[in-house]
Amino acid sequence: MTVSNRQPDVRPSTTVRPTDDALLDGVVAVFGEHGFDRATVAELSVAAGVSKPTLYSRFGGKEQLFAACVRRESERLCRWMLESYRGAEGFGLRRNTDITTRALFDYAARHLQGFRLLYGSANRPHARRISDEVMAPVRATIAALIRIEHEDDDRAWTVSAEFCAAVVGDIAVRGVSQAVERDLDFTAAAELTISMIVAALRELDPAAARALDSAAGPPGSARREDVPEGSYPALTVSRPIPAERPGGRPPAATADEVLAATIQIFQTMDRFEAGAVATRLGISRTTLYRWFGSREGLLGAAFARQFEQLVLRIDGRSRSRGALRVAEVLNRATRAIAGDPALRRFLENESGAALRLVTRADGPVHAGSVAVIAALLERARAQDGYRPPVAATALAYALTRVGEAFLYDDTAADIGGRLDDLHQVTRTLLGLEH
72-221 against 225-236+250-434: fold identical: yes
117-to-24, 82, 169, 190, 301 alpha-carbon distances in Å: 12, 20, 17, 20, 30
Lowest mean pLDDT among 227-236, 259-268, 357-366: 227-236
Contact criterion met (CB below 8 Å) for 64 and 105: no
- Check residue 124 and give its pLDDT: 59
283-297: pLDDT as tens digits: 877 777 777 888 888
Domain 72-221: give its CATH code: 1.10.357
Closest to 172 measured CA to CA, from 130, 215, 118, 212: 118
- Check residue 206 and give its pLDDT: 81
- Check residue 110 and give its pLDDT: 87
What is the overall mean pLDDT for the chain? 76
pLDDT at 260 over 90: no
Closest to 308 measured CA to CA, from 246, 244, 388, 236: 236
Residue 429 has a CB neighbour count (10 Å cut-off) of 19
Domain ranges of the chain: 72-221, 225-236+250-434
Q: What is the dihedral of CA 182, 103, 293, 257, to 10 degrees?
A: -70
pLDDT at 371 over 60: yes
Lowest mean pLDDT among 173-182, 222-231, 353-362, 403-412: 222-231
- Check residue 154 and give its pLDDT: 57
Q: What does the alpha-carbon distance between residue 278 and residue 285 come to, in Å, rounded to a whole number?
A: 6
Give residues with Cβ within 8 angstroms of 433, minimum separation 6.
424, 427
Q: Which CATH superfamily is domain 225-236+250-434 in?
A: Tetracycline Repressor, domain 2 (1.10.357.10)
Contact criterion met (CB below 8 Å) for 315 and 227: no
pLDDT at 239 over 70: no
The string over 393-405, giving b where at least 16 C-beta atoms fall within 10 Å of a residue's C-beta and e elsewhere, is bebbbbbbebbbe
What mean pLDDT comes out for the span 20-31? 78
148-201: pLDDT as tens digits: 777 666 555 778 888 888 888 889 989 999 998 888 998 899 999 999 998 888
Percentage of the chain beyond pLDDT 70 is: 79
Q: Is the peptide bond before 219 cis (omega within 30 degrees of 0)?
A: yes
Give residues with Cβ within 8 angstroms of 393, minimum separation 6.
90, 370, 374
Give residue 48's pLDDT band: very low, low, confident or very high (50, 70, 90). confident
What Rg do the C-alpha atoms of the chain give, in angstroms? 25
